Amino acid sequence: MKYIIDITVQLKAGMRDPEASTLQRSLEQIGFGTHELTLAKKFHVTIDAESETEAEEQGRQMCERLLANPVIHNHIITVVKK
C-alpha cells in the first residue's frame, strides 16, 4: 500500500530564527504588520508500507536519523493513504 508521509520540521518554540524575523520585517515594509512569523520545512514522502502505523514509524525514523536535528527541531508527522 502506498502512503504519503507529511513531515513538518520546525525550530523549537522560543528559538531565535533570523530568517523569520527578516521576513517579518520585510512584510512590514510592504505594508503587512504581523504579530508573529515562523518558518518550517515540509517534506512529502511517498512510501510503501503495510499499515498507517508502519508508515508513521518510518516517518519518525526519517526525522530522527536525518530530517530533523533533535537539538533544535520539533517535528510533526501526518500520514495519508495515496
Partner 1 sequence: MRFAIIQFGGSNCDYDVEYILTSIIGIDADLVWYKERLNGYDGVVIPGGFSYGDYLRAGAIAARTEIMQDVRKMAAAGKPILGICNGFQILTESELLPGALMLNNYPKFICSGTYLRVENEQTPFTNRFKKGDVIQIPIAHIEGNYYTDNHTLQKLKERRMIALRYTDQMGEVREDTNPNGSVENIAGILNQNGNVLGLMPHPERASEKILGSVDGLKIFKSMIDYVEKKAIANQRNRSK
Q: Which residues bind partner 1 (CB under 8 A)?
A: 15-19, 22, 65-67, 69, 71-72
Integer Cα distance of 79 and 6 in angstroms: 6
Given the complex with partner 1, which of 19 and 81 has the nearer CB atom? 19
Q: Is 75 exposed, middle or buried (0-12, 13-18, 19+ CB in 10 A)?
A: buried
Query: Which residue number, 25 or 81, has a Cβ lying nearer to partner 1?
Result: 25
Closest contact distance (angstroms) between CB of 27 and partner 1 is 16
The closest alpha carbon to 51, from 81, 19, 10, belongs to: 81
Q: Which helix (H) or strand (E) holds 20?
A: helix 18-29
Q: To the nearest whole angstrom, how small is the minimum distance from the Cβ of residue 69 to partner 1?
A: 6
Q: In the complex with partner 1, which residue's Cβ is closer, 1 or 27?
A: 27
